[in-house]
Amino acid sequence: METQRQSAVMRACVIAVLVQLLLSGSQGLQCREVAGQLRQIDVSAGQVFGTDTADAIFTLYGGTWTQLPGALKHVTVGPSGIWGINSANAIFKLVDANWVQVPGQLKQIDAGGVQFVAGVNTADNIFCLGQEATVGYKGPGSPFPWQGLQGALKYYSCGPLGCWGVNATEDIFVRMGVTPQQCQGTGDWQQVDGKLSMIEVGSEGSVYGVNAAGDVYCRDGITSSNPAGTGWTQLSECGKSKHVSFDLGHLWVITQDNRIQDCS
């Protein structure tokens, strides 16, 4: 009985990932190698952005990687725009196709929240920027009132149903009640089972992560009434990886040797 229930829950995640393929009659997650090399990737609303080991910034347009001006070690795309972090941990926002520096310092940032951004600094302090500052850039001198969150995380990512993070010892946390007006959320961190090195929330709320061994996992059973989900399913088709991001039925995977895979 318990085994049946668990396997049903496990299948739920895979089915969510593979719904298009299953409908078309194919079986299993299929990964296709994409030309190029990246260190980090972020995808949202049909857009694909990434950075390589030389801090060059790329976006996929018409099937071709197009380099953007500037240098970043981390880039994010989402409902809250396109933001990045350079090697000195300075923060940039793409405004009118130019990188505008934003006050503050972070090592990682995420634009997946609904009209807010969030990230962590080198001391693993956690910050978010509410709706007004995130979407209402008014030129030089525009205020950026970063709000601190209690706790410590090395990676933090947000989506429509909440935010997920991992701490220095790879423990996993979810935070609910996060809104454009209250990006800090309400209540406490809820610890989730498992260990991951990085975690990303997709545009529709699905959650994927990579552990220290490079294995890729998808969170099962996430619904608006249970945003923390129910368990993890390993996606062994992805191979040894270091970074993932999910959008529109595609899981983009960066392998440990910086190759790019598009899995669907």
Ligand X SMILES: *[C@@H]1O[C@H](CO)[C@@H](O)[C@H](O)[C@H]1NC(C)=O
* Residues binding ligand X (CB under 6 A): 152, 167-169, 171, 191
Smallest distance, ligand X to C-beta of residue 195, A: 10
Structure tokens at 111: 């634009």
Buried b (16+ CB within 10 A) or exposed e, 13-37: bbebbbeeeeeeeeeebebeebeeb
Q: Which is nearer to ligand X, 167 or 211 (CB)?
A: 167
AA identity, residue 133: A
Taking the C-alpha atoms of residue 90 and residue 20, their distance in angstroms, rounded to an integer, is 39
Q: Which is nearer to ligand X, 84 or 119 (CB)?
A: 119
Taking the C-alpha atoms of residue 226 and residue 220, their distance in angstroms, rounded to an integer, is 10
The answer to whether the CB of 174 falls within 8 A of the CB of 162 is: yes
Smallest distance, ligand X to C-beta of residue 120, A: 12
Smallest distance, ligand X to C-beta of residue 217, A: 18
Question: Residue 238: CA atoms inside 13 Å, Cβ hemisphere, count?
Answer: 33
Q: Which is nearer to ligand X, 100 or 152 (CB)?
A: 152
Q: Which is nearer to ligand X, 4 or 150 (CB)?
A: 150
- Residue 98, judged by CB atoms within 10 A of its CB (0-12, 13-18, 19+), counts as exposed
AA identity, residue 247: D
Q: Which is nearer to ligand X, 153 or 251 (CB)?
A: 153
Q: Which is nearer to ligand X, 191 or 226 (CB)?
A: 191
Smallest distance, ligand X to C-beta of residue 118, A: 18
Taking the C-alpha atoms of residue 19 and residue 25, their distance in angstroms, rounded to an integer, is 10
Smallest distance, ligand X to C-beta of residue 124, A: 7
Cα→Cα distances 217→27, 88, 93, 179, Å: 18, 31, 30, 26
Smallest distance, ligand X to C-beta of residue 151, A: 8
